[in-house]
Structure 1
Amino acid sequence: MPDMRPLQPGDPEQIGSYRLVGVLGSGGQGVVYRGVGDREVAIKVLHGHFSHDDDIAKGFLREVEAARRVAAFCTAAVLDVGMVDDRPYIVSEYVPGDTLQAVVRASGPREGGALDRLAISTLTALTAIHQAGIVHRDFKPGNVLMGPDGPIVIDFGIAKALDATTGTSVPVGTPTYMSPEQFEGERVGPASDVFSWAGTMVFAATGRTPFAGDTVAAIVNHVLSGVPDLSGVPPHLLGAIEACLSRDPAARPGAAELLQQLIRQVNPTGRPLAPPLAQAGHGSVADADTAPGRRGSIGRRALIGGGAAAAAVGVSAFALLRPGSGLLDPDGRRTGRPVGDTSSGSLAQSPGTASPNPAASAEPFGTQTGDPVPLPATDGAPTAMAAEGGTVVGTAKGAVFAWDLGPEVTRLGDGGGSAEWVCAGSLGGTPAVASGHHDGRMRLWRPAGGSLASRKVSDPVIAVTVTAGAAVAVSQKYDDMRDLHSVVRLWNISTGKQIGPAISDHFQGVRGLAFGRLGEDDVLVTGDGGERVRVWRLSDGKPLRSFRTGEVGGIELLACGEIDGRPVLVSTHLDATLRVYDLATGKRRKKWEFSDQAPDDRGATALVAGRIGDVPVAVVAHAPWNGDVIVRVWNLGDGDVIGVLGPGPGGAIRRLALAERDGRPMIAGAGEDRKLRIWSLGPA
């Protein structure tokens, strides 16, 4: 039973209808009081610095309200939320008992049936949390209470709410149990909780964390590039935990899926009944695709169910919506569905928005063109895609492909570790494809196949580009002397030499990255966890511009474009907004909300900017936790959504690009099913 200290001067005596009787604990977020009224409750009151702005406080309350949707089995129910003395508070069910962290420290690791019951109970809680549309974001031993009725998960959704109060995209959590995507500024979804659950189970089974380090930065480095220590984990749980600790979120099993696996594997005495995970159609856990330190596809989930009819060859995967009318099929017949209905996998044109002359094209706006093109199953999931100068695709196992948007792909070769970025261009008059890899490899390829150059650096390569002057790679690592500030370097791929000095001031690492042009210079644009955007000249690594976004909502993805002849930066943010900034001045020009998204459907997986004829556009792909495909095509001139690709076959679109075929603009997308698809965007 946790100790409770008496109230001290300055502590409130009453919050809402609850009389406070003592302090259960305090920490970096706030103070937890025990309250009594019609029932016993725990009330967390946040520190004052979390409520310095009315809008931020409202955002916090809104996020916590979402947590009240969670079913109350295996979780401490959220009962109320409000403000006291300008500080937000959360009222939840009181659960007597110590945390899993304290129990293991005092009594040692869990064993046998106790460990199995803990694993199954906590997965049941995560399943309920995810089914309510919530992502925990801070699952750890300190947030599992060992109550008299069994393990209870607490503080679900609180980390998301705290993110909204900081004014930055700094993730709120415990580094040892945080997922790679939380450090890398990528979308945080239910797969992040599965990663954290696995780390928590390692601690419960061994008394150690899977990712050790003497400093926060050392822990971050271990999570991002090290191998987890799983010694001492029982054999019947080892395969599941290995799969959950994959660096690729898409390669981790879902909580509900994993729960079913564990129930089938463990009988009431705690003895394993079946080999781990491999029996469920996920392949062998010994497959190299799921080995620690590798991205992969084992445990990948089929995220889309439905919309199969829209995938038929020659049938549009989209449908056009005329102002004031129902949806039309490809032959112009009305389907009778109401305005805005995209449930069948269609691209619906927004009311009052004209498509870019769809009638002038043999392939109407939104038509899926040709059959999906499969990538070889042995090369892993698609991880990178680009179309400027030629469409190229990289995969989780490092393979690089050229694609002419036809029925086949050309394999250029194996580049090394997971391909983080690919592009095509011309180098000294010679066509070239560049690829950057997680193991530090940077490669130049001939578009027809064969290597032009191969270099290796010690840090993971996170981006590459081919400009008129040089092929440039960007690498990043975390420096343990600078806490959570990463070190970014530019490299000439042809020579392997560093361009300019190392850049060591990206707080929480690079959050969003894009290549563009400012005046006469080819530039790199980066965002970081402090909401700062920086512009660097590629030729010498010199900083040219720096500005802050100035708003709550962490930077997710960046893309460079142009509006009315001026270079702009297009960005997506964790507050579910799309924004446009003047690249030269840093002044925000536009801001729009993804208003139909639930709080934890937020998060973009891909962003590109370009033009459809004379219309500047941004194309944004989302991968909500329930797997529905969402791709929006925005008119950057007036903010109208030209179209939305709704649920359809193939799984969530992870990578996309704007391409051209026969002079017509296209969307090229790579889905969860390892297939490449293209859709028409109307005439050029």
Structure 2
Amino acid sequence: MPDVAQTQPLRPDDPVSLGGYRLVGRLGEGAQGVVYAGTGPDGANVAIKLLRARIGEQAVDDADGFLREVAAARRVAQFCTARVIGAHMDGDHPYIVSELVDGVSLQRIVHDEGPRRDGALYRLAVGTITALAAIHRAGIVHRDFKPSNVLLGPDGPRVIDFGISRALDSSVTLSSGVVGTPAYMSPEQIGAQRVGPPSDLFSWAVTMIFAATGRPAFGFDSLPAVIYRVINEEPDVSQLPDRLRPLVQSCLAKRPEDRPTAAEALFILLDQQGADTDDLERSMTAGLQVAANPFAPPSHDAAPVNPFVSPSHDAAPVNPFVSPSHDAAPINPSAAVPVNPFASPSLDATPKNAFASPSYDPEAEQSVTVNHRLPDPVFFPDTDVPRRGKRAGLVGGGLAVVLALAATALFVVPAMFSGEEEDPQAVAQVTSSAVPLPPSSVASPPTSPTPSPTPVVTPPPALGKPIGKPLSGHRGAVYSVAAATVGDTHVLVSTGLDRQVRLWNADKRTSIGKPMTGHYDEVYAVAAANVSGRALAVTGSRDGTVRVWDLKKRKALGSPLRGHSDAVYAVAVGKVGDKWVAVSGGADGRIRMWDLKKRKPLGRAIAAHRNVINWLTLGKRDGKTVIISASEDRTLRVWNASTRKRINTTFRAHKKPVYSVTTGVLDGRDVVISGGEDNKIRIWDPKSGKAIGKTLTGHKNNVYSLAFGEVNNHPVLVSGSTDGTIRLWDLETFKSLGKPVKAHKGGVLSVDLIDLDDKPAIVSAGKDRRLKLWQIKEFSP
């Protein structure tokens, strides 16, 4: 959005109105579209961006997706940002209405007045990082942060155009390209990889260098040369002041997981006001431990990971989380775009001093769509199925307070959770794969030297027939189901892509009341538990929030729990010490813990994985409650639930992303069971990280859900796969019990073991928008 001062008359082919807004002049034009100054029905001055992207006649869902993404931008707290008022459609052309900021862009200010110095530079850094923290807190990635998108007004800097690139990228027209300005793009964005909040921190750091020096950090000559430097070279930060330099250097890390979050960067800027360089460096390394627990979660902007199709790893793109090898051939700066950022350059074509060209024209900078060939997108057969595979919020609930006080440079220190270790006998756990039938030791009875009666041999169980008719009512794929008890009634809680939370009477197989609503986007996970006699459910959503529900009253309790910066894919509920807690994880690669009674965060987020957390559960290790997380990075990790510290156990046997995990006890031994995109189920020791028994095979596609329990004194496992089947496994013999059952057309997304009419049963949910109940019968080989 160009400067208000540069308003030009409308051209003959410009519209004179859009919806109820009257257009009074042109503010500018770029690759995304034309920006107009206008007035609303109430006479308020607004900026209207009419986008070039067409949302075609055959892509109605794309229009909905575009409007939904802009709706998310409206929720950004108004800290140093231009408020987004709304989005509308002019035929098949979308346009966005936002607050008209009376200011001049940082790009023009630096060009006209020179670099920012001292206090002006520091205020710019604080104001813009505050804006990014607010943007990320709303679950949005800017993706085009640059000097021309920072306006300097009478009340300080304002960041504009956040969320627009992401909204555009949801359309068919632009989904095959990368939207952004190359000189300010991160390495992963240039490489057409998944882009998350860390990418904005890289762009912010490059913008700070421009503000301090008057020149782009990576030059401004040929586009291939700039791309080469972004990926392979370190910019000169010597002209930055001491108190800003270490933070900017950290944000310029080539690997996304090595950069701080916007919230952490804000804390550093506020806490280190007046500190010397050594203090800043210690803060970067010791205080935040940014690199000690690496994470690099992608965002929704990436091509979705399809749990129904395992992409060929031979065609996988270059890993954005690994810096290019110095032995690898770099790119050719003189090559035409599209380019391969990792191809060998021609040194003769590289300017000797590309950073000192006297012919730099700031007006020539504009948003450029760099068209790369993205990895082959793998979509679900229809829009019912979510996009799993996409950094978390600040410490505890302190971000909103810090944002509110940032302008006055007040520093808020959040309270840390310091619960005592729990009594091993007092632990109760319930997750989305909750086991209502607690397993017991399966050790064989001792032999007797004296004659004894012949024991009664109970045949192992097997999958039986469906119980009654399928439970229908969801308008989208049913993504998660959990069992609970409300009074004397056995109930099921289900969530799905229709954003609803539904309650079912399991005994009568009927719906209970109207659907519960509270999330504004798809609901991916649910866990349930009876907390002090109160039946509660916890849900996680693509809107980045966790919610707590009273199942008896069928309503949400309090406000959404915020802290994740992206979609929440997994939740679990359990007791740690004397405290009932909920645990959540998702696309930001972080684990968060919540006090269920107070509905407050417990301590800081755990930087758990470099990639998406697909699922998590609670279990036991040496009598202590642990969190086990399963990730897109193909690993499972174990965390002490009381201290939130990682236990040095990582399970790496899966060859592809891990999507499901549950826990149990075999022969008196705590075990973890996991499944994933390699179609295999593995059983392993959470203490040693070593495999136990045989790998369970049989599914033809992603093992998406698991539930452990005991039936007729047999430890069993139920598995659900995107091949559409559910299977029952005997964990004494590590063999399948009977034949698989074709349960859901399109794929099984959730399974659980439940108690139904005082008998064990199985509940499954799937892409066909239904829940089904299944008998467990005696197995006849």
TM-score (norm 2): 0.45
Between Structure 1 and Structure 2, how many residues are aligned?
Answer: 407
CA 1:50/1:24 → structure 2, altered by over 3 Å: closer, same or farther?
farther
Among 582, 593, 598, the residue aligned to 2:543: 598
Counterpart of 1:108 in structure 2 is 114
Alpha-carbon distance in 2 for matches of 1:676, 1:197:
42
Counterpart of 1:330 in structure 2 is none
Counterpart of 1:624 in structure 2 is 588
CA 1:659/1:273 → structure 2, altered by over 3 Å: closer, same or farther?
closer
Any idea what the Cα deviations from partners look like across 1:81-135, whole Å, max 9, x if unmatched?
Answer: 1012321111111101111011111111001111111111111111111111211
SS at match of 2:35: strand
Alpha-carbon distance in 1 for matches of 2:151, 2:201:
18
Q: For the Cα contact (< 8 Å) 1:303–1:626, is it kept in 2? A: no
Alpha-carbon distance in 2 for matches of 1:27, 1:437:
32
CA 1:212/1:489 → structure 2, altered by over 3 Å: closer, same or farther?
closer
Among 373, 385, 394, the residue aligned to 1:529: 373
Alpha-carbon distance in 2 for matches of 1:231, 1:577:
54
- The 5-angstrom pairing of residues 167-316 of structure 1 reads 167-267=174-274, 272=275, 275=278, 277-280=280-283, 282-283=285-286, 298=291
Q: Any runs of at least 4 consecutive aligned residues in structure 1 with deviations exceeding 6 A, and if so which? A: 301-304, 419-422, 487-490, 547-558, 591-594, 651-655, 662-665, 678-682
1:485 aligns with 2:329: no
1:439 aligns with 2:442: no
CA 1:657/1:151 → structure 2, altered by over 3 Å: closer, same or farther?
farther
SS at match of 1:658: coil
Counterpart of 2:552 in structure 1 is none
> 1:658 is aligned with what amino acid?
H
CA apart distance, 1:645:
5.4
Counterpart of 1:81 in structure 2 is 87
Alpha-carbon distance in 1 for matches of 2:21, 2:370:
39
Among 41, 47, 50, the residue aligned to 2:46: 41
Counterpart of 2:329 in structure 1 is 458
> 1:438 is aligned with what amino acid?
P
Q: For the Cα contact (< 8 Å) 1:169–1:529, is it kept in 2? A: yes
- The 5-angstrom pairing of residues 113-124 of structure 1 reads 113-124=119-130
CA apart distance, 1:654:
11
Alpha-carbon distance in 1 for matches of 2:651, 2:207:
31
Alpha-carbon distance in 2 for matches of 1:105, 1:676:
60
Alpha-carbon distance in 2 for matches of 1:479, 1:548:
34
Q: For the Cα contact (< 8 Å) 1:187–1:603, is it kept in 2? A: no
CA 1:43/1:64 → structure 2, altered by over 3 Å: closer, same or farther?
same
CA apart distance, 1:49:
3.9
CA 1:84/1:655 → structure 2, altered by over 3 Å: closer, same or farther?
farther
Alpha-carbon distance in 1 for matches of 2:219, 2:98:
32
CA 1:90/1:622 → structure 2, altered by over 3 Å: closer, same or farther?
same
CA apart distance, 1:176:
1.0
Unaligned runs of 5+ in 1: 286-295, 305-385, 387-418, 423-435, 441-455, 460-476, 491-506, 510-527, 534-546, 559-575, 579-590, 605-620, 635-642, 670-674
Counterpart of 1:69 in structure 2 is 75
> 1:624 is aligned with what amino acid?
D
Report percent identity of matched pairs. Answer: 39
Counterpart of 2:11 in structure 1 is 8
Alpha-carbon distance in 1 for matches of 2:381, 2:259:
35
Alpha-carbon distance in 1 for matches of 2:189, 2:296:
22
Counterpart of 1:494 in structure 2 is none
> 1:42 is aligned with what amino acid?
A
Q: For the Cα contact (< 8 Å) 1:508–1:530, is it kept in 2? A: no
Any idea what the Cα deviations from partners look like across 1:277-308, whole Å, max 9, x if unmatched?
Answer: 323261599xxxxxxxxxx964757999xxxx
CA apart distance, 1:175:
0.9
CA 1:86/1:186 → structure 2, altered by over 3 Å: closer, same or farther?
closer
SS at match of 2:205: helix
Alpha-carbon distance in 1 for matches of 2:320, 2:118:
44
SS at match of 1:145: strand
Alpha-carbon distance in 1 for matches of 2:122, 2:200:
18
CA 1:247/1:40 → structure 2, altered by over 3 Å: closer, same or farther?
same
Q: For the Cα contact (< 8 Å) 1:135–1:189, is it kept in 2? A: yes
CA 1:550/1:421 → structure 2, altered by over 3 Å: closer, same or farther?
same
Q: For the Cα contact (< 8 Å) 2:54–2:92, is it kept in 1? A: no
RMSD value over aligned CA atoms? 5.0
CA apart distance, 1:154:
0.5
CA apart distance, 1:626:
5.7
CA 1:678/1:159 → structure 2, altered by over 3 Å: closer, same or farther?
farther
SS at match of 1:486: coil
> 2:329 is aligned with what amino acid?
S
Counterpart of 2:153 in structure 1 is 147
> 2:335 is aligned with what amino acid?
M
> 1:221 is aligned with what amino acid?
Y
Any idea what the Cα deviations from partners look like across 1:183-208, whole Å, max 9, x if unmatched?
Answer: 23433222111111111100000011
Q: For the Cα contact (< 8 Å) 1:76–1:92, is it kept in 2? A: yes
SS at match of 1:19: strand
Counterpart of 2:31 in structure 1 is 28
Unaligned runs of 5+ in 2: 298-312, 345-368, 391-476, 480-496, 499-521, 525-540, 545-564, 570-584, 593-607, 617-627, 632-638, 657-668, 678-686, 693-705, 707-716, 718-730, 735-781
Alpha-carbon distance in 1 for matches of 2:386, 2:108:
33
CA apart distance, 1:161:
0.9
Q: For the Cα contact (< 8 Å) 2:257–2:296, is it kept in 1? A: no
- The 5-angstrom pairing of residues 510-589 of structure 1 reads 529-530=373-374, 532=376
CA apart distance, 1:23:
0.7
Any idea what the Cα deviations from partners look like across 1:201-231, whole Å, max 9, x if unmatched?
Answer: 0000001111125222221211111111223
Alpha-carbon distance in 1 for matches of 2:190, 2:181:
11
SS at match of 1:172: strand
> 2:10 is aligned with what amino acid?
L
CA apart distance, 1:237:
1.1
Alpha-carbon distance in 1 for matches of 2:590, 2:129:
17
CA 1:47/1:678 → structure 2, altered by over 3 Å: closer, same or farther?
farther
> Which stretch has the larger CA shift, 35-44 or 478-487?
478-487
- The 5-angstrom pairing of residues 342-381 of structure 1 reads none
CA 1:167/1:74 → structure 2, altered by over 3 Å: closer, same or farther?
closer
Any idea what the Cα deviations from partners look like across 1:49-72, whole Å, max 9, x if unmatched?
Answer: 465643333221111111001011
Alpha-carbon distance in 2 for matches of 1:7, 1:557:
44
CA 1:644/1:119 → structure 2, altered by over 3 Å: closer, same or farther?
closer
Any idea what the Cα deviations from partners look like across 1:483-518, whole Å, max 9, x if unmatched?
Answer: 13328899xxxxxxxxxxxxxxxx979xxxxxxxxx
CA 1:551/1:223 → structure 2, altered by over 3 Å: closer, same or farther?
farther
TM-score (norm 1): 0.51
SS at match of 1:146: strand
SS at match of 2:240: coil
SS at match of 1:601: coil
Alpha-carbon distance in 2 for matches of 1:15, 1:421:
41
| Higher Cα Rg, which structure | 2
CA apart distance, 1:159:
1.2
CA apart distance, 1:264:
2.6
Alpha-carbon distance in 2 for matches of 1:104, 1:202:
11
> 2:338 is aligned with what amino acid?
L
